[in-house]
Amino acid sequence: MPNLTINGERYDFEKGETILQVALRNGVEIPHYCYHPELSIVANCRICLAEVWAPNPRTGVLEPGPKLFPTCQHPAADGQVVHTDSPKAMANQKAVMEYLLINHPVDCPVCDQAGECHLQDYSYQYGRGQSRFLEDKEKKPKKDLGPHVLLYSDRCIMCTRCVRFTREVTGTGELMVDGRGNHEEIDVFPGIALDNELSGNVVDICPVGALLDKDFLFQQRVWFLKKTPSIDGITSSGDNISVEHNEGRIHRIKPRTNPEVNRWWITDEVRYGWKFVHREDRLRLPTIAGRDPWALEAANEAWTTALDRANELLEASVDAGRRAALLVSPMLSCEDSFWLSRWVRSVDSKAITGVGPIPRHGEDRKFPGGFTVRAEKAPNARGVRRVLESGGAGVLDFKAFVEALRKGSIGVAVVTGNYPSEWITPELMDALGETPTVLIDTLPSALGSRSQVVLPGAAWVEKEGSFENVGGRLQAFERAIAPPDFARAEAQIALDLIAQLDGAMPPVFSAADTRREMFASGLGGFDSVHEPPAPGSQEPDMIYLEL
Ligand code: SF4
Ligand code: FES
């Protein structure tokens, strides 16, 4: 295999790789701004330049190149010797950093990017430490580019990543470079806003604080944020995401790179779709029809009484010779589905099961860069069906489930929701009629007002579990924040109900243990669920002081 040497270490490479790609793949840092693995190579920022020596093809003697080469663009070649730490390469790094900061306002204390800014990092690692520029700085405007993105032009280093993104990934081409030389600015074309379904990604790829997310503007200093690896809980894409939160509140969602699923991107729908998690009217305590709501202080009594009542309804249905019906929402995890099914079938082995409504918006849409926006707006329809089918009986789709309810032989319905917005259909309300109902949901609804028992569930960011995406890929996600007040993960609720029936202490729900049990009970695939590569929740490295 061909190899080259970078700063004294030898590395193998594949034909077609550039020097920078070989370095990044091997964890060698070479500073770079304009290079991005998903975008065309323009080599315009010049920070990655290195001294490259190569064997003379005639004599085989190692000779230096005539000038510094951009490592992002220069192909790796056998026998090459690359220096990014030689005096010449380092002088270039210092010069580029000085040039980029000439007109920069150096307003880090009020910049959202501070703490995760490549201009800050490279300034520290490769810069001069002081400016020799005494003239007036060029002042450039702030611009509103679209519904989600602001541009602070004077922080821009003209790497053109954002322009190339709209040309090559979305194909929408809203952004351009306007002007020349010192007066160059990024802008939108007149009358055209940066308003495509992937627009928020330009904020992620901007290496400095020029492009900012309106939703996150001045919300948090990034060093306070904890990052929990998760999976898109809004659509069927299975996009790998990082939930960034502090003191129990989510502040933003970012993509996690996964070349096999979402590559480097997420849709704005996934990026901003978590707001329902913090709705003021979230369900927080169980309720029972005909009884005054419990105060938060009586949470234990509320849960014990409501669990008792739910089990009584199930047992009464069996005693009356009728069947229970369990509707599992496609918003729930495989583990939720497993324990809910276990609970209902432990009381009524002939219970019918169904998958809740699967919202669809139009058709799948593929962008020129290969990213697909999924029309199916539920994360786990396939996983829920897979788990319910393992129970032995057939699994109904929502329409068939409603029809089965209408036939009138159902003695109790257990219905789960957990959708980001109102989801109860008139058909479901009508078909349920007077059927005793146990509802497990996160938001108030018309069905909640008429159910015998309502139990508050947890949104996907508030629990651990796994989803099966539209491509059949099973992926695990971790818990980022706690559910509000006394709400619980649906799997925990089911375990509590089972323990209450057995008169035992309920175990604490563990997604990993559940997956082992699922696999042992014959559910294929749960021994090899894709786990997030990062270790659990990351604590910030700031040391907190009590002031
Ligand atoms: S706005 Fe950001 S991504 Fe766009 S050219 Fe400027 S620095 Fe690069
Ligand atoms: S990263 Fe190589 S020139 Fe910009």
Would you give the DSSP letter of residue 139?
Answer: P
pLDDT at 542 over 70: no
SS3 label, residue 144: strand
Ligand 1 is surrounded, with C-beta below 6 A, by 156-162, 186, 206, 208, 210-211
Of 1-5, 161-165, 388-392, the least confident: 388-392
State which ligand 1 atom lies nearest to the alpha carbon of 157: 7
Is the beta carbon of 415 within 6 A of some atom in ligand 2? no
Q: Which atom, in ligand 1's list, is nearest to the CA of 161?
A: 3
Q: What is the rounded distance in angstroms from the CA atom of residue 50 to the CA atom of residue 65? A: 10
Average the pLDDT over each of 104-118, 129-143, 530-544 and give the range with the smallest value.
530-544
Q: Is residue 539 pLDDT above 60, yes or no?
A: no
In-domain check, residue 277: no
The band of 524, judged by pLDDT with boundaries at 50, 70 and 90, is: confident
Domain assignment present for 204: no
Q: Distance, CA 90 to ligand 1 centroid (Å)?
A: 24
For 30, the domain range is 3-97
Over the stretch 401-410, which tens digit does the pLDDT of each residue have?
A: 999 999 988 9
Domain final position from 75, 97, 119? 97
| Rounded distance between C-alpha atoms, residue 360 and residue 329, angstroms | 14
Cα–Cα distance between 373 and 364 in angstroms, integer?
A: 6
What is the predicted pLDDT for the residue at 533?
Answer: 77
Mean pLDDT of 48-76: 96
Tell me how many domains the chain contains.
Answer: 2
CB distance 217 to 112 below 8 Å: yes
Residue 34 in contact with ligand 2 by CB distance below 6 A: yes
Whole-number Å distance, alpha carbon 67 to ligand 2 midpoint, is 15
CA 240 – CA 231 distance, rounded (Å): 5
Closest by CA position to 437, among listed 398, 407, 410, 397: 410
What does the block give as tokens for 118? 């490549």
Ligand 2 neighbour 35 (Cβ under 6 A): yes
* Residue 90 domain flag: yes
Could you give phi then psi for residue 545, rounded to 5 degrees? Answer: -120, 140
Mean pLDDT of the 222-241 span: 97
Nearest CA owner, ligand 1 atom 2: 206
The three-state secondary structure class of 251 is strand
Mean pLDDT confidence for 214-240 = 96
Closest Cα to atom 3 of ligand 1? 206
Cβ of 498 closer than 6 Å to ligand 2, yes or no, is: no
424-439 tens-digit pLDDT:
999 999 999 999 999 9
Assigned token pair, 506:
């309920």
pLDDT at residue number 537: 47
Measured distance CA(285)–CA(455) in Å, rounded: 7
Q: What's the 439 CA to ligand 1 centre distance in angstroms?
A: 49
Segment 434-450 shows an average pLDDT of 96
Question: Which CATH number does the domain housing residue 63 bear?
Answer: 3.10.20.740
Atom of ligand 1 nearest to the CA of 205: 3
Write the single-letter amino acid at 247.
Answer: E
Tell me the Ramachandran region of residue 115: left when phi exceeds 0, alpha when psi lies from -120 to 50, beta otherwise: left
> Residue 271 burial (CB < 10 Å; 0-12/13-18/19+)?
buried
- Rounded Cα distance between 98 and 111, Å, is 20
- Asked if residue 288 has its Cβ within 6 Å of ligand 2, the reply is no
- Which of the two residues, 544 and 88, has the higher pLDDT score? 88
CA 162–ligand 2 middle distance (angstroms): 15
Ligand 2, atom nearest to 46 Cα? 3
What is the CA(183)–ligand 1 centre distance, in A?
Answer: 14
Residue 473 has pLDDT above 60, yes or no: yes
- CA 318 to ligand 1 centroid distance, Å: 65
Q: How far apart are CA 311 and CA 319, in angstroms?
A: 12
Closest residue (by CA) to atom 1 of ligand 2? Answer: 32
The minimum-distance atom of ligand 2 relative to the CA of 45 is 4
Ligand 2 close to Cβ of residue 229 (< 6 A)? no
Residue 541, pLDDT > 90, answer no
Within a domain: 314: yes
Q: Which of 24, 45, 52, 67 to mutate to test the pocket of ligand 2 (most atoms within 8 A of CB)?
A: 45
Question: By percentage, how much of the chain surpasses pLDDT 70?
Answer: 97
Q: Which phi and psi (to 5°) does residue 520 adopt?
A: -65, -30
> At which of 97, 126, 145 does a domain end?
97
Mean pLDDT, rounded, of the chain: 95
Q: Is 39 in the pocket of ligand 2 (CB under 6 A)?
A: no
Cβ pair 532, 477 in contact under 8 A:
yes
Is 314 touching ligand 2 by the criterion CB < 6 Å? Answer: no
1 in Cβ contact with 17 (< 8 Å): no
Instruction: Please say if the pLDDT value at position 546 is more than 70.
Output: no
**Distance between CA atoms of residues 455 and 287, nearest Å:** 7
Q: Is the CB of 19 under 6 A from ligand 2?
A: no
Residue 144 within a domain:
no
CA of 517 to the centre of ligand 1 (A): 49
- Confidence band for 536, pLDDT divided at 50, 70 and 90: very low
Within a domain: residue 256?
A: no
How many angstroms does the Cα of residue 33 sit away from the middle of ligand 2?
A: 6
For residues 85 and 197, what is the distance between their CA atoms, to the nearest angstrom? 41
Cβ–Cβ under 8 Å, residues 185 and 153: yes
Specify the pLDDT at position 534: 57
What band does 58 get if pLDDT is binned at 50, 70 and 90?
A: very high
How sure is the predictor about 182, in pLDDT bands with cuts at 50, 70 and 90? confident
Q: How confident is the model at residue 302 (pLDDT cuts 50, 70, 90)?
A: very high
In a domain, 357, yes or no: yes
Q: Quick one: which ligand is closest to 30's CA?
A: 2
pLDDT at 391 over 80: no
DSSP state of 542: P
Instruction: Give the phi and the psi of residue 114 in degrees, each rounded to 5.
Output: -55, 130
Split at pLDDT 50, 70, 90, the class of 390 is confident
CATH code where residue 383 lies = 3.40.50.740
In a domain, 111, yes or no: no
What is the 3-state secondary structure of 288-341? Answer: ECCCCCCCHHHHHHHHHHHHHHHHHHHHHHHHCCCEEEEEECCCCCHHHHHHHH
Work out the pLDDT band at 532, boundaries 50, 70, 90: confident
Mean pLDDT over 265-271 rounds to 98
Question: What digits encode the pLDDT tens for the residues 485-496?
Answer: 999 999 999 999
